[in-house]
Amino acid sequence: EADIYQTPRYLVIGTGKKITLECSQTMGHDKMYWYQQDPGMELHLIHYSYGVNSTEKGDLSSESTVSRIRTEHFPLTLESARPSHTSQYLCASSEYGGDGTDTQYFGPGTRLTVL
C-alpha cells in the first residue's frame, strides 16, 4: 500500500469558485503527478514535478496550476471552476530506480463536481 494521500475525497462546488486539491506523500519521492480521469476512461496528465520548485505542464493543463514548495506536497489549484472540470483527479508519485524502473504510486483520487 503506497503512502500517498489526497483530500478532499469528494467535492461539490459552484461555478467560478477557486479550489485547491491536496496531495501528500510520505515516501520521499522526487517525482509527483496530477492526472484527470473520467469514469472508466484513460488518464490524462495535467501537471508533473521532478523536484522542489520544478513543475511542468502535461498534455491537459485544464486551466489549473500547481506548486512544489516541499518534496512531500503537490497541491493542484483551479482558479475558477467550470462544469467541464467535473472529473476525478488522481495524484501519483514515483522515484527513479536507477535500474530503469520508475513505478508510479497513486492516491485514492478526488472526485470533483462543479455545478
Partner 1 sequence: GESVGLHLPTLSVQEGDNSIINCAYSNSASDYFIWYKQESGKGPQFIIDIRSNMDKRQGQRVTVLLNKTVKHLSLQIAATQPGDSAVYFCAETHSGNTPLVFGKGTRLSVIA
User: Looking up cell 483530500, which residue turns up?
Assistant: 7
CA angle 88, 39, 51 (to 5 degrees): 40
Amino acid making up residue 31: K
Residue 69 interacting with partner 1 (CB under 8 A): no
Residue of 11, 45, 52, 60 interacting with partner 1 (CB under 8 A): 45
**Per-residue mark of binding to partner 1, 70-89 (x: CB under 8 A):** --------------------
Q: Is 64 exposed, middle or buried (0-12, 13-18, 19+ CB in 10 A)?
A: buried
Nearer residue to partner 1 within complex by CB, 14 or 100? 100
Residue 96 interacting with partner 1 (CB under 8 A): yes
CA end-to-end span of the chain, whole Å? 34
Binding site for partner 1 (CB under 8 A): 33, 40-43, 45, 48, 58, 90, 92, 94, 96-97, 99-109
